[in-house]
Amino acid sequence: MAKTEMKKKRKIDIMAEMPERLSSGHRLCAGCGASIAARQILRGTTDPVVISCATGCLEVASTIYPYTAWEVPFIHNAFENSAATISGVEAAFRSLKKQGKIPKNKKIKFVAFGGDGGTYDIGIQSLSGALERGHDFVYVCYDNEAYMNTGIQRSSATPFGAFTNTSPAGSCSFGKSQFRKDLTMICAAHHIPYAAQASIGYWQDLVKKAEKALAVEGPAFLLVLAPCPRGWRFPMEKTVEIGKLAVDTCFWPLYEIENGVFKLTKKIPDKKKKPITEWLKSQGRFKHLFEECNENVIEEIQQKIDEDWQRYLKTNGDKIF
């Protein structure tokens, strides 16, 4: 066995032996991408962790009173203030260290979770403030691209052309008529030490980025694609496969911005780049786009992806912030 394979095997073995911080028995849907993302990210450190979590799928299904699936300190927040809460906890921790009430060598990692509704939209103000103030924490957005917890309403993370209950497709509409917000770049523009985009479909990439985010001093941001079987309308056993397909079509590029330097963490050669139609066909929320009257919408989506991908290739290795 090659040395690199042995090294990978040892790391996998170590990760497999780590105690679960999000236990089984929670009530998230079968195939939910959010729980997969949370478990992978929390394998990024062996240090104690304190978590805040905005209202959303991950919170309501894992902390149904009087039960909890979390094996670490967990604070439930409103939609809008997960980042504000965890920044307050982190500030209190630093204060107690200065007062000598906590040993100076004590290490605790602070992590905030939020869905796209609680991050792109309702929670972006508190997130921006916490990043600008420079708190030492990691914010994780598990992005299922709509308000899934409250009935599949569109958010600013919902893709162009997608069907939701507030951006329905029909004779007067082809689904959501706006392209998604580029949240990773928005967060990186706060000049934070680390920001990255990942997918549960490529767990090695995600865990490595979680390790980096949890290791840096100061704020870090992770945007993780977390496919939703119910909202996206695909079989629950296809979650990881669809998470991979999003990357392989370049709909969801994997990259990181470390100290302002942009780096693609997975390059897709032109010969292996899959057309966006493969990803769209895998989900019922895009079914209407394959009607004859909506062909131009698919062409527009592909054009936007191609343009963005070329821009990422040209930017790779450059200091952008």
What's 303's domain CATH number? 3.40.50.970
* Model confidence band, residue 13 (pLDDT cutoffs 50, 70, 90): confident
Q: What is the pTM of this model?
A: 0.94
Indicate whether 223 belongs to any domain.
Answer: yes
Per-residue pLDDT band at 6 (split at 50, 70, 90) = very low
Q: Quick check: is 321 in a domain?
A: no
Domain presence at residue 8? no
Average pLDDT, the chain: 95
pLDDT at 1 over 60: no
Per DSSP bridges, beta strands 220-225 and 194-199 are parallel
Structural domain count of the chain: 1
Compute the distance between CA of residue 41 and CA of residue 140 in angstroms, rounded to an integer: 9
Which pLDDT band, with edges at 50, 70 and 90, does 25 fall under? confident
Q: Please indicate, yes or no, if residue 11 is contained in any of the structural domains.
A: no
Q: Domain residues for 85?
A: 21-315
User: Tokens 């694609």 correspond to what residue?
Assistant: 225
pLDDT at 289 exceeding the cut of 80: yes
Residue at 5 is within a domain: no
| Residue 145 confidence class, pLDDT cut points 50, 70, 90 | very high
Give domain status of residue 262, yes or no.
Answer: yes
Neighbours of 263 (CB within 10 A): 15
Q: Is residue 10 part of a domain?
A: no
